[in-house]
Amino acid sequence: MNVKSLEQVFTQTVKFFEWLLAGIIIVAVIAEGTMLVHDLFSYIMEGEIMEKFQDFLAHALLYIIGLEVALMLIKHDMTLVMDIIIFAIARKMIILNVHMWEILVGILAIFILYYLKCYGLSCRFFPNRP
């Protein structure tokens, strides 16, 4: 077995485990998402929606981040990494009681990431992308 074929075997093995991990993440997010919807309906029925809404948002954004990670494992796209960072910053800004200057820094960071995603990365690193 030469080095080239050994490298292909390792590459295929890594890709298989990436797909497997992405599948596990997707199944876990779907399972937890159904429980989240059930919890949301119970909050509405019990009249606790205002008290529990922040918890609901924290869980929902965490599941979105999980799905983005699974998508990143499958597609290997640089812009997905930026999406994950944007969602993580937004989640921290929403669920934590932070000071105004921390919110402003978070907004600035999200703006910079969106700018890089829309203009910087696509034009500079991927010249064939629209």
Q: What is the pLDDT of residue 98?
A: 77
Whether this model's pTM surpasses 0.75: no
Confidence grade of residue 91 (pLDDT, cut at 50, 70, 90): confident
Compute the distance between CA of residue 117 and CA of residue 79 in angstroms, rounded to an integer. 6
Q: Is the pLDDT of residue 112 over 60?
A: yes
Give the residue among 63, 106, 66, 58 at the shortest CA–CA distance from 86: 106
Residue-wise pLDDT tens digits, 13-40: 999 999 999 999 999 999 999 999 998 8
